[in-house]
């Protein structure tokens, strides 16, 4: 008898707020933040809830333990052979290894070492998380003080440098957690702003030119191909965040993406201009592309309302609710929405409240059975 199909998979956005002193004491956790965080994440997502509700454990890329402990420097520390530092205007890529950059590299190494202990004997999916090349280009600066977005050659090199660093990272991860099945979440939090031409120049008086979706897709294709050949990652093991743009969804498929992350909060109604986007989502689904929904599971996050809207539109497109079986739900606090809406510069360090915490993941776990019931045959 074949096993029951997975109705939903639960995952996080790659961040996790380090347990505070009171939680460490109450749960008898070690004082080391990476080790304590991984032990809690394993307790929450280390085992499937039941035969039809799966989980995807993540190696957190950011704990918020200090001002440099967030996703941007964690990703920069992976760029192979590249150095830089934290300047007054933001993270600079260029000659010289600064103290902040070295610290970000050290934090990543500490997390890998903690995985050897906290994930001893673990077998199952294990997600690493990075910012994608378009977001990196918009979030960082070159030695002149301009954003990396202004340097065509540097932007072109980003996917290859990232893939090479990820190959080394995943090799180290496989050594420390032999039973892990690697998965990669590529967050393109700023891709909408890059395509729209709304990334400000250092003066703040103008914006960088819009980047055509086809050029963004070239970066994605370069990254996916390099990950396949250098890191042994099939596109089905890579989730790519594509925003809420029909052109980007189509271009992502052309680039070879097989898993796309979408935020229901950003998706328009089906009527009018929204139809083209939803039809492109449907086309991706019909082509076998796995869909992952980015939601805020906290009480005020609106997750139930947003997921309900997805199923209503899904029905209007001619699908049954059971056709949403197999979707992944990614817990996220909504920080990337502010970047998407242009209210936060992508180079800005997030607040500690922007990182996932245990309560948010518990809320997702509690909501999962109701969603699974809705999409069951």
Partners of 99 in the β-ladder: none
d(CA 28, CA 179): 26
The model's pLDDT over 262-272, given as tens digits with 9 standing for 90+, comes to 999 999 999 88
Q: 74: which 2 tokens? A: 């964690």
pLDDT at residue 374 in the model: 94
pLDDT at residue 104 in the model: 95
Asked whether the beta carbons of 194 and 158 are under 8 A apart, the reply is no
Whether the full predicted model's pTM is greater than 0.95, yes or no, is yes
pLDDT at residue 272 in the model: 82
pLDDT at residue 19 in the model: 87
Q: What is the DSSP letter of 200?
A: B
d(CA 345, CA 199): 8
Asked whether the beta carbons of 111 and 172 are under 8 A apart, the reply is no
pLDDT at residue 3 in the model: 65
- pLDDT lower than 50: segments of the chain: 1
pLDDT at residue 283 in the model: 96
* Residues sharing a CB contact under 8 Å with residue 293, sequence separation 6 or more, in sequence order: 261, 262, 263, 264, 307, 310, 327, 328, 329, 330
Going from N- to C-terminal start, the domains of the chain cover: 8-375
The model's pLDDT over 281-296, given as tens digits with 9 standing for 90+, comes to 999 999 999 999 999 9
* Residues sharing a CB contact under 8 Å with residue 117, sequence separation 6 or more, in sequence order: 35
> Does the domain at residues 8-375 carry the CATH identifier 3.20.20?
yes
């Amino acid at each position: 008898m074949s096993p029951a199909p997975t109705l939903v998979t639960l995952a996080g956005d790659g961040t996790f707020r380090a347990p505070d002193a009171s939680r460490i004491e109450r749960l008898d956790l070690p004082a080391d933040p990476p080790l304590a965080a991984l032990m809690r994440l394993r307790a929450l997502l280390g085992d499937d809830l039941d035969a039809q509700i799966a989980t995807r454990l993540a190696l957190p890329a950011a704990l918020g333990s200090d001002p440099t402990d967030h996703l941007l420097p964690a990703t920069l520390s992976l760029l192979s052979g590249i150095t830089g530092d934290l300047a007054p205007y933001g993270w600079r890529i260029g000659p010289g290894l600064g103290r902040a950059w070295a610290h970000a590299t050290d934090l990543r190494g500490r997390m890998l070492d903690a995985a050897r202990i906290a994930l001893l004997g673990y077998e199952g999916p294990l997600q690493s998380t990075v910012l994608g090349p378009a977001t990196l280009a918009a979030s960082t600066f070159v030695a002149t003080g301009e954003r990396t977005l202004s340097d065509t050659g540097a932007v072109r090199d980003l996917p290859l440098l990232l893939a090479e660093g990820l190959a080394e990272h995943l090799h180290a991860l496989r050594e420390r957690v032999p039973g892990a099945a690697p998965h990669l979440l590529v967050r393109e939090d700023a891709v909408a702003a890059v395509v729209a031409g709304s990334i400000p120049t250092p003066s703040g008086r103008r914006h960088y030119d819009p980047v055509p979706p086809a050029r963004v897709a070239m970066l994605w294709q370069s990254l996916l191909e390099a990950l396949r050949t250098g890191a042994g990652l099939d596109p089905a093991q890579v989730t790519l965040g594509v925003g809420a743009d029909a052109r980007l969804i189509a271009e992502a498929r052309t680039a070879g993406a097989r898993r796309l992350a979408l935020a229901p909060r950003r998706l328009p109604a089906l009527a009018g201009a929204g139809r083209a986007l939803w039809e492109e989502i449907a086309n991706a689904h019909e082509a076998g592309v796995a869909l992952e929904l980015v939601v805020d599971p906290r009480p005020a996050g609106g997750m139930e309302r947003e997921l309900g809207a997805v199923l209503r539109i899904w029905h209007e497109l001619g699908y049954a609710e059971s056709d949403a079986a197999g979707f992944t739900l990614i817990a996220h606090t909504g920080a990337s929405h502010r970047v998407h809406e242009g209210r936060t510069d992508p180079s800005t360090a997030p607040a500690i409240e922007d990182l996932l915490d245990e309560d948010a993941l518990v809320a997702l776990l509690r909501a999962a059975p109701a969603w699974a019931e809705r999409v069951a045959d």
